[in-house]
Structures are given as C-alpha cells and as structure tokens.
Amino acid sequence: MSNRRTFLKNFSLLTLGGLAGEKAMASNHSYFSGSEVPSVMSTEGKKQMGLQTYSLGQELLKDMPNGLKRLAKMGYTELEIFGYRGDSGKFGDYSRTNTTFIAAKDYYQMAEDAGLLITSSHLSPSIQEYTAENMPKFDEFWKKATDVHFNMNVKYMVQPSLPRIQSEDDAKRVAEIFNRAGEITKQAGITWGYHNHSNEFKTISKDGVQDIPKSPFEKPQGPSIEELFLKNTDPDKVVFELDVYWAMMAQQDPVEWINKYSQRYKLLHIKDRWIIGDSGMLNFANIFKAGYKNGMTNYFVELEGNPENKVQFEGVEKSAMYLKKASFVK
C-alpha cells in the first residue's frame, strides 16, 4: 500500500495543477483500505474470467449493485469498465440519452461488495486533433484520469478509439502521444494500452490509407496502422489489447498477430457475433493457447448489441458457461 501511495504522491507532485493537491496527497488516496490488494471473495478453484461492462450497457446501469452480484454468480471474477467522463471523473455509458453516472468511489465499492475486481478501464480523450500543439491537452487528460483510476486500484487504462490517420507520419505522431500517456500512467503503477477495431488493419502506402484487404490472400500495399502503432510505441510504456473478433472481421488471424508480437498483446477481447463460441468463426482454443504462451495477463468477454433484442445478461451468462466448460481456459 505504501508503494502505491508513493507512486501517486510522486505523480501528483508533477501535476499539482490537476486533481491532487497537497492536502489530498497527505490523506489516503485509495478507496480500498488495509492490505495492498483489496479483499474480494476467494477465487480459489475458479477460472479467471473478465467481462467488459460495455456488454451490458443500461441493463447494468439501472441496478448496479445487483447486476454486479449477478455477474459474480455467473463466474466472472473481474471487470473492464467503460464510460469514463473526463469532465466529471464519473462513469456512464456511450448513449447520448444516458442520465446515470457513477462516481468512481461508488463503482469501486459496488464491485468489491460483489466480489469483483476492476482490472481495466476503457477511456478516450475527447480531443480530436492528434497534433504536437495538443500534446499538453492529452497529457492533462491522462493525468486527471490516472488520478481517478489509481484510486480504483485499476491495473490497465486502455484507449479504444482510433485517431484520424492518413499517413505514416500521422501514425508515428499518434504513437508518440500514446508513449506520453503510458509514461504518465506508469508513474502511478498503471499500464496504458490500446484496443483495436477493424480499421487499424488498413494499410498505409505512400499514397495514403488503403482499404482493408478483401481476402487474406490479397497482398497489402504497406504497413498497417496496427503495425505502425506496435513498432513506434515503447513496450515498457504501451501494451495492446487485441479484439479477436474485429481482427477476424478485417481478414486477420488473431493467432498470427499474438505470436508475431509476443508480449505486446497483454490483453484480449474475447468476442463472437453474440454468445462466445456460437458462430464457429473463431478458433478460441488456439487463441487462448497463443495468448497464454505469449504473455496475456487478462482477457475480457465483450458482447455487442444483438439483432434480436435479446437480454444482454443472457448472452453474458451463456458466454460464461462456455468458458467455464472450455478446457483451454485457465
């Protein structure tokens, strides 16, 4: 615990214009108390199973305490949350009509009461232009967000949104901003990461960004955006979260990426068309095998909206059942 307080104290001394003032630094910054790691229900004999709460949206927000307890009963042990608001430091969802926002302290307490760890968080700056002139604004966003997430004992802060990129120089400048974000979070003992969708697998030639190949046999005309991010970010500051479904939708083999960039994909999004394993499009056994072999520390189930307007909790529960039965999941 003392080490984490030291992290934040040193971090705050660099950012006294931000959230943490001298009075706050002298107090207990963390919402958890006692030992270094917050107490949760014993997971002995249980698989480590994570869920990205985006999977549930308003279904979870309308009754957070009972919803989180329901997830724990399904077998989930940890969460990757989303919906951080930089203006308030609270959490909601991506809907413009959402009126429910949860304070970080309350979110942490509800998760702890349910026996769940908040391991990771998805968040993105609202700044649109990734320019050298805007770097101080990005720094300020990540400093403030790090202060909030430190208090929740989060291990990873992950950006899931792709900035506008039209050239290799654009990608390298964005990677520089990613490195700066990683340096900021690292001072608080938090690892910064980036999460892909399908557009990251578009290639960049001297003429600009190319479309995603129409088949795996189509030869790319240059490096992909994902490759440029991987090659121009510092492994000590930036990790990656591979969304295996979106990689597949971009005609990419997730296993090849995990093997090629060993130790970079510390996080995985386990996703299917809806319920994990139902479509047969992804070889989850090989994906998990590659992940464990190449340094994956955590994975999170994620469900997108379903076309039949089914209850998302149903899909989350059936996905948990699939993973609990799967011999390849530890």
Q: Which domains does the chain possess?
A: 45-325 (3.20.20.150)
Reduced 3-state DSSP string for the chain: CHHHHHHHHHHHHHCCCCCCCHHHHHCCCCCCCCCCCCCCCCCCCCCCCEEEHHHCCHHHHCCHHHHHHHHHHHCCCEEEECCECCCCCCECCCCCCCCCCECHHHHHHHHHHHCCEEEEEECCCCCCCCCHHHHHHHHHHHHHHHHHHHCCCCCEEEECCCCCCCCHHHHHHHHHHHHHHHHHHHCCCCEEEEECCCHHHCEEECCEECCCCCCCCCCCCCCEHHHHHHHHCCCCCEEEEEEHHHHHHCCCCHHHHHHHCCCCEEEEEECCCCCCCCCCCCCHHHHHHHHHHCCCCEEEECCCCCCCCCCHHHHHHHHHHHHHHCCCCC
| pLDDT at position 329 | 98
**pLDDT tens digit sequence for 159-214:** 999 999 999 999 999 999 999 999 999 999 999 999 999 999 999 976 778 777 76
Supply the mean pLDDT for the chain.
87
pLDDT per residue over 35-62, tens digit each? 344 433 434 568 999 999 999 999 999 9
Residue-level pLDDT at 39: 35
Pick the range with the lowest mean pLDDT from 20-29, 43-52, 217-226, 256-265. 20-29
pLDDT tens column, 114-173: 999 999 999 999 999 999 999 999 999 999 999 999 999 999 999 999 999 999 999 999
Can you give the pTM of this predicted structure? 0.87
